[in-house]
Structure 1
Amino acid sequence: MMLAKFLGAVIALSAVFGSPVLAAEVIDITGRKVEIDLPAKRVLVGEARQIHTIAALTGDHLLDRIVGWRDDFFTKDPDSYQAYAERFPALATLPRFGYVANSTFDLEAAIMLAPDVITLNIESQKVAVESGMEAKAAAAGIAIVYVDFRVDAAKNTENSIRILGQIFGADGRAEDLIAYRREQLARVTDRLAKVADIVRPKVFIERAPGNDAENGCCRSFGPYNFGEMVEQAGGHNIAADVIKTTFGDINLEQLIIEDPDLYIATGSNWAAESKTNRFVHVGRGADPAAAKAKLKTLMERTGFPELTAVKTGHVHAVWHQFYGVPYEFVAVQQFAKWFHPDLFADLDPEATFRDLHERFLPVPYKSGYFASLNEETN
């Protein structure tokens, strides 16, 4: 009798929502076991840049389950936001929220939207626990699930894709994306593995230079995130010799002593939040000439003109948002061409990114994600 009642409830829910809704246990990337009805009917996206992943999983049905999102798309990645807003005009009126990690997230307003689940990046966990947000959300019947595409991408990206696939009812699509990502990374790593005694150029990758008031130096990456991408592409990330966490700083004197063979700046369209506008604007549809001019200006900072990378013209920029999406393999492929141009002469990262859009994403591709001071090194 109990089983019959349960099945009757499932059938009734299916009639209302179009697909079976079943209680299930989701294990997030922190190892927490969370009970959620799957697929979720109402999702609040705790970082809007998760849209890059969710769109690949849901395609034309991107907004079917989303009831609100964080406001970071507008300040951190407005070029991508514009593309998605053109395709999905309802994004413009979607309720926006602040950032959990800096305590600007309005939980009471979120509860009013009655989401089934809030998807947060792992960086928000400490504040979510210490502020009582996790407990208050649970008391309101809202699950919190953590994902990670940024802090330790190698460890957590595939699980994070699967978790979002569960939440959005796109398990098969999640596996397709994971397989595609593995295949594209292997186009670099497998070829490098076949080369005995590969010579790894010294690389310095600077995090968001020109996006601070002082126009200083030198924020970078340890053995994770962009630092790991450098290693995957056959380079040596010199900052990892000093920085052991995901992000950190090295001083200018250390940079000069290390004297990298290549320099890479991460950039995006930060016009909405930057006080100086010295950053390199790369990303969807960015102007390559303008990006090149900004790169040139950055290389005029104290100490930089004497670096080998600058003298030889091996100065580049990469879209900053690759550091938090599951298609960072595009950046790895471009790095490989910069580091080992002969070995990867046949590799076309732009064709790869275009193919990803055509296979998975509901918005068209536009170039602009990379820039180089010297076209011959691009």
Structure 2
Amino acid sequence: MAIGVALGILSLAMTARAETVTVTDIAGREVEVSIPVERIILGEGRQIYLLAALDTEDPFKRVVGWREDLSQADPDSYAAYLAKFPRIADIPTFGGFKDGSFDVEQAVSLKPDVVIMNIESKQATEDARYIEKLAAAGIPLVYVDFREHPFANTEPSMRLFGHLIGKSERAEEFVAWRQAEIKRVTDVIDKANPTRPTVFIDRAGGYSEECCMSFGDDNFGKFVEMAGGTNIAKDIIPATFGSVNPEQIIAADPDQIIVTGGWWEAYVPGGAWVGVAPGRNMEAAREKLAALAKRPAMTGVKAVETGRMHAIWHQFYNSPYQFVGIQQMAKWLHPELFADLDPEATFRELHERFLPVPYRPGYWVSLTDAQ
């Protein structure tokens, strides 16, 4: 009898601790979720960038499945997390929603409390009726966004994650610090109102032979504007992502060029991409950057002639760490205004305050030392 009473009390305590709430996701959908969630499927492995900032002690303790992209798109970060949390090698993985390789039966078998998807998968998710199939098993799906419209959706996404896992206070701490770090750039630009250099963002330059992918007026395109530059593709690309042809780049003759890069050996072995990534060799990355400067699209362009061509970690486009990229771009675009700003120190502080893995440099490089 005593054991039965004890189990009954324990059951009541657990029931009282759990709470069913209605959350509004980034797609504007109202979704019922029992919080705090204890079992999560990450629709993209790189969502660990934000989960780690909230569940810092053990970002993987709730993850029961994730998309297999972190180890391919950012193998150096994956290796750092693997060294600290070896069991992540055993977390079940799956492919993407867009390519139809997501297995609903596998997801259901993992018994998640919630599936978290990036907003760009929404159309494919709806077309395949994944939401209804998961709902039939009592599994809610919510959307977040750090890529399509990061400056509108990063903070709501962080708060949503915080709410789901019972870390709202931690989420607010991160959001407040992020806002303050962005203002270290935007307040200076607003006050000084400097002449804005023109900038071409070469998205994943060298990843393919195509030239050149870039950004419209969001994501890295907006990074440029916030850092005090003018994105030459802002009026050419109507959406967040798109392409600019070589003739448009030559005609615009940008003052500076910023290539986004990463360690993409898993995707394009031996490719011309610039290997900026934590712990990587910056001299090797600079050599790759110099090779990209010789493409026809860069012929006679001012940025190349003056050495004001740079590379920066591509994953700033898909994480809540965008403010570090903004700070570094501000240093490149307006070195006289930001002589005392140290983006390296900012990123190191982010790791020390919010992440369970140590900081390793390697996130950006310039063609020359000229700014």
Relative distance call for 1:232 and 1:150 in structure 2 (3 A) is: same
Q: Distance in 1 between matches of 2:249 and 2:259?
A: 14
**Aligned to 2:148, what secondary structure does the other structure show?**
coil
Relative distance call for 1:237 and 1:21 in structure 2 (3 A) is: same
Q: Percent identity?
A: 48
Deviation at 1:166, TM superposition (A): 1.4
Which of residues 19, 22, 47 is equivalent to 2:19? 22
Kept in 2: contact 1:10–1:22 (CA 8 A): no
Deviation at 1:303, TM superposition (A): 3.7
**1:338 to 2:332 alignment:** yes
Deviation at 1:136, TM superposition (A): 0.3
Q: Which runs of 5+ in 2 are unaligned?
A: 1-6
1:157-306 pair list within 5 angstroms: 157-196=154-193, 198-212=194-208, 215-306=209-300
Kept in 2: contact 1:10–1:20 (CA 8 A): no
User: CA-atom RMSD, angstroms?
Assistant: 1.5
Deviation at 1:15, TM superposition (A): 4.9
Deviation at 1:332, TM superposition (A): 0.3
Partner of 1:318: 312
Q: Distance in 2 between matches of 1:104 and 1:14?
A: 39
**Aligned to 1:265, what secondary structure does the other structure show?**
strand
Relative distance call for 1:349 and 1:13 in structure 2 (3 A) is: farther
Deviation at 1:69, TM superposition (A): 0.5
Give the letter aligned to residue 219 of structure 2.
Answer: N
1:17-166 pair list within 5 angstroms: 20-166=17-163
Give the letter aligned to residue 122 of structure 1.
Answer: I
Deviation at 1:61, TM superposition (A): 2.3
Kept in 2: contact 1:305–1:311 (CA 8 A): no
TM-score (norm 1): 0.94
Deviation at 1:372, TM superposition (A): 0.5
Relative distance call for 1:13 and 1:194 in structure 2 (3 A) is: farther
Deviation at 1:341, TM superposition (A): 0.4
Kept in 1: contact 2:146–2:154 (CA 8 A): yes
**Corresponding pairs, count:** 365
Partner of 2:11: 12
Relative distance call for 1:14 and 1:259 in structure 2 (3 A) is: farther
Give the letter aligned to residue 295 of structure 1.
Answer: L
Kept in 1: contact 2:119–2:145 (CA 8 A): yes
**Aligned to 2:370, what secondary structure does the other structure show?**
helix
Relative distance call for 1:13 and 1:296 in structure 2 (3 A) is: farther
TM-score (norm 2): 0.96
Q: Which runs of 5+ in 1 are unaligned?
A: 1-7
Give the letter aligned to residue 367 of structure 2.
Answer: L
Relative distance call for 1:141 and 1:263 in structure 2 (3 A) is: same
**1:349 to 2:343 alignment:** yes
1:363-378 pair list within 5 angstroms: 363-377=357-371
